[in-house]
Amino acid sequence: MTSFKDKKSAEIATNAADELRRLARYADRSQEQLASEIGISRQTMNVKLNGGPLDLTEFVAIAMSLGKNPSEVLGKAEQTALANA
């Protein structure tokens, strides 16, 4: 049985990837550009921003590449998850 905590953690992680995608669109940056900046392939970036595993180092690198504070991106993801509770 999945706990509330596990569900919220997964929702926050999903929201964080969604927020990175939104920020990339707003900055008019392609997944290919972001991938090149952090040293991964476009295909890998696509997987990571669309529900695949995104480790903390990659999350931080993508956020910083977009000129954003990673903790603010994560905070927004958490606020969204809590608002949906």
Structure confidence by residue, pLDDT tens digits, 42-84: 999 999 999 888 999 999 999 999 999 999 999 999 999 889 8
Give buried/exposed letters for 18-45 (b at 16+ CB in 10 A, else e). Answer: bbbeebbeeeebebeebbeebebeeeeb
Predicted pLDDT at 4: 65
Buried b (16+ CB within 10 A) or exposed e, 1-15: eeeeeeeeeebbbeb
Q: What is the pLDDT of residue 42?
A: 96
**How does residue 3 score in pLDDT terms, banded at 50, 70 and 90?**
confident
Go through the domains of the chain in sequence order and give each one's CATH number: 29-84 (1.10.260)
pLDDT reported for residue 2: 65
Q: Which two tokens stand for residue 38?
A: 């952090």
pLDDT of residue 66: 96
